[in-house]
Chain A
């Protein structure tokens, strides 16, 4: 393990400006993420979870503080970071194969090697026969897998998952979360998942970060240690500690049903 963390967020604050005034979305966030770690970020809606992810993706300038990836200050989108959107966002006018190559095309990195890598991922995760299909011919779960492979094709170090499963129905969601976690582990990637689903956060993560209501600050960080024989999100939900973590985080989120 490297001495320096892969991602270092230091005193990050982000404000939005509108004509009506300024909104402080995030305040003084500091967090280190080690290589290979899986971090889940939960918080009440509107707490700035997605803002944090946008900043990590290099789409937003911090108002104060900084984000370092591999000791490099994040100034814009970098190939080190792969972003996986809320719904799969596959382009219907492209075949699955062309969808997978999208990131490489944009970064002008379509070479025989990168193509072979992308094709290898498709094959490894059972999508080879659908290479020439269109997105609407695939099931929701398969589409999500394609979306993940599209992100992996640029070979990023860090994956940002923005409520990546929220568009799926419950059963598919559990299965896809399982698959995605397995793929991320196999490819040895670091991942940061933003979600409003506490169970999902706990079942997938090494650590769960709880944010407060706006302006989002870090309320607590929980290191998740579950005793389960097989380390998959679905199995982990059966661990005896699962409920305790769930109750703890649920209380911390302090969600009032008004």
Chain B
């Protein structure tokens, strides 16, 4: 969240001091964040240089940078990143869309919602990753199986979250529409969906994270391409430099995708 700390004109000295203090505090937080990162990296580098820890097992910042450079020169790094990004985006978009669609069906039919309730509870508590091997058999060892895993991880949470969001819409708003003679479809379009936009966005935020879990585990299992593949491959051949480099790229990509959703939220909710 960005605070607007620009000082308006014609303010008292007290207020200026308050603003200055707030600004200084914010700066202090930023500086400490950067220092913490630098200190951690420096300690890691020094510890390996001085052989306190074995750089072969623990890698080191300089080795990670070298690995990144060589991966960049070999050129297939971007292919791996691209595949993982594609799988994640597809998984979480499908998870959100399908989850919301099912939530709409459940809202439409109380009977169906009650019939399926117990099954949803069971599916929700089941670790979806356990279905990975089955999915690979069904969908083949490739991107589609990985997308399905990512979808499965996020879809049940979405259904439950969005459905409960629908149920929490103020009944008086629904009643108002009914007094105008609204049909069920109109109630859905004009109240339930617009009132649930915040719920759907928060589902989207959760799903970004979950889709990454699904995709990385999927890539561990399928082991063909992607960042998850690089990590598991690096581990198998004991190239911890590769593992660390991939994890760093992965965390950057995940953070970027999350920010993209936050940006989307800002556009929609204004």
Decide if A57 is an interface residue (CB 8 Å cutoff). yes
Decide if B175 is an interface residue (CB 8 Å cutoff). yes
Decide if B182 is an interface residue (CB 8 Å cutoff). yes
- Give the contacts of A78-121 with B (CB-CB under 8 A): 78-79, 81-83, 85-87, 89, 91, 93-94, 102-103, 105-107
Find out whether the CB atom of B170 lies under 8 angstroms from the CB atom of A78.
no
Find out whether the CB atom of A106 lies under 8 angstroms from the CB atom of B197.
no
Residues of A within 8 A of B180 (CB): 77, 102-103, 106-107, 154
Find out whether the CB atom of A79 lies under 8 angstroms from the CB atom of B173.
no
Find out whether the CB atom of A76 lies under 8 angstroms from the CB atom of B173.
no
CB distance from B265 to the nearest CB of A (A): 14
Closest to B194 in A: A93
Find out whether the CB atom of A91 lies under 8 angstroms from the CB atom of B179.
no
Find out whether the CB atom of B175 lies under 8 angstroms from the CB atom of A59.
yes
| Known contacts A59-B179, A93-B197; is-contact A106 B172 (Cβ 8 Å) | no
A57 to B250, CA, bound (A): 58
Find out whether the CB atom of A91 lies under 8 angstroms from the CB atom of B172.
no
Find out whether the CB atom of A77 lies under 8 angstroms from the CB atom of B179.
yes
| Known contacts A77-B180, A78-B181, A107-B180; is-contact A102 B190 (Cβ 8 Å) | yes
Closest to A56 in B: B179
Number of residues of chain A lying within 8 A (CB) of chain B: 24
CB distance from B178 to the nearest CB of A (A): 6
Decide if B164 is an interface residue (CB 8 Å cutoff). no
| Known contacts A93-B195, A105-B190; is-contact A85 B172 (Cβ 8 Å) | yes
- Main SS of the interface on chain B? helix
Closest to A105 in B: B190
Find out whether the CB atom of A106 lies under 8 angstroms from the CB atom of B182.
yes
Most chain A CB neighbours (cut-off 10 Å) among B172, B177, B181: B181
Decide if B186 is an interface residue (CB 8 Å cutoff). yes
Closest to A93 in B: B194
A105 to B173, CA, bound (A): 15
| Known contacts A59-B179, A76-B181, A105-B190; is-contact A91 B173 (Cβ 8 Å) | yes
Task: Mark contacts of B188-220 with chain A using CB atoms, 8 A cut-off: 1 yes-contact digit, 0 otherwise.
Answer: 001100110100000000000000000000000
Residues of B within 8 A of A89 (CB): 170, 172-173, 176
Closest to B191 in A: A91
Task: Mark contacts of A220-238 with chain B using CB atoms, 8 A cut-off: 1 yes-contact digit, 0 otherwise.
Answer: 0000000000000000000
- Give the contacts of B5-43 with A (CB-CB under 8 A): none
Task: Mark contacts of A144-174 with chain B using CB atoms, 8 A cut-off: 1 yes-contact digit, 0 otherwise.
Answer: 0000000000100000100000000000000
| Known contacts A89-B170, A91-B194, A93-B194; is-contact A106 B175 (Cβ 8 Å) | no
Residues of B within 8 A of A76 (CB): 181
A58 to B197, CA, bound (A): 30
Residues of A within 8 A of B176 (CB): 83, 85, 89
Can you sample 12 A-B contacts with CB below 8 Å? A77-B180, A81-B179, A82-B179, A85-B172, A85-B175, A87-B172, A89-B176, A103-B180, A106-B182, A107-B180, A107-B181, A160-B179
A→B interface (CB under 8 Å)? 57-59, 76-79, 81-83, 85-87, 89, 91, 93-94, 102-103, 105-107, 154, 160
